[in-house]
């Protein structure tokens, strides 16, 4: 990993993503599009102050592209650059720029991508095995804020963790995300009006990558290959 982030190379990668054409997700919902840098087809033309639809014609599309090129150029650090990337593509951008970023940016972007994407382990651009490897590469101290680090330092060497799953993902126990709170696991297994399962397991503290409470879920991001004594608590 490089000592200092090569921001220029990261900007080139961001600009290359502009070559991907915007796609409508559903034809009868024009506001729903898929693109690494556009969340909506409606943007403000900076010269006229008017709202335009980039899907209406090529001129509008080019206006949007040129405005984003300026935004990319104006980014003075990696974090600001990643803020331009839409949530579903943050992890993909992270993967594309991994050879050009320092450990601090690596960890900050990894945890930001984790928190912003609820279904990150199902990301089509980055496999679960790759994600596991990224966390193995990361610095625990840089993945957690001061409050999280303090909480993590007080955990026992052997920890009981819980995971709530719905019928959709009931067999997905090879997961990086578990919680310290059984009630939170219960909420996850019952959301969407389902009656899912709660699992309990044991993990060694050394096999935990981070304690993450940014979503108030008392979440542990861990090496699922190291879980022991996995038990079904609720059917």
Cα separation, 32 vs 41, in Å, equals 8
Cα separation, 82 vs 72, in Å, equals 10
The pLDDT of residue 24 is above 90:
no
The pLDDT of residue 14 is above 80:
yes
First CA to last CA across the chain, in angstroms?
A: 45
User: How would you label 130-158 residue by residue, b for 16+ Cβ within 10 Å and e otherwise?
Assistant: ebbebbeebebebbbeeebeeebeeeeee
pLDDT in tens, 34-85: 899 999 999 999 999 999 999 999 999 999 999 999 999 999 999 999 999 9
Single out the residue of 20, 38, 5 nearest to residue 109, CA to CA: 5
Label residue 122 by pLDDT band (50, 70, 90).
Answer: confident
């Amino acid at each position: 990993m490089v000592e200092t982030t090569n921001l220029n190379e990261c900007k080139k990668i961001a600009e290359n993503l502009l070559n991907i054409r915007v796609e409508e997700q559903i034809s009868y919902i024009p506001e729903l599009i898929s693109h690494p840098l556009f969340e909506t087809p409606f943007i403000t033309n900076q010269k006229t102050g008017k709202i335009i639809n980039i899907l209406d014609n090529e001129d509008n599309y080019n206006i949007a592209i040129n405005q984003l090129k300026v935004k990319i150029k104006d980014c003075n650090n990696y974090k600001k650059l990643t803020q331009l990337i839409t949530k579903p593509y943050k992890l993909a951008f992270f993967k594309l720029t991994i050879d050009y970023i320092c450990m601090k940016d690596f960890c900050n972007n990894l945890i930001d991508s984790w928190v912003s994407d609820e279904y990150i382990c199902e990301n089509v651009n980055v496999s679960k095995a790759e994600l596991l490897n990224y966390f193995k590469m990361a610095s625990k101290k840089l993945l957690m804020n001061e409050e999280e680090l303090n909480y993590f330092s007080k955990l026992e060497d052997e920890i009981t963790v819980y995971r709530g799953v719905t019928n959709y993902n009931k067999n997905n126990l090879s997961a990086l995300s578990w919680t310290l709170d059984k009630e939170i696991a219960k909420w996850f297994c019952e959301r969407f009006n389902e009656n899912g399962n709660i699992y309990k397991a044991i993990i060694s503290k050394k096999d935990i990558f981070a304690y993450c409470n940014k979503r108030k879920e008392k979440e542990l991001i861990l090496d699922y290959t190291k879980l022991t004594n996995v038990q079904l608590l609720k059917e």
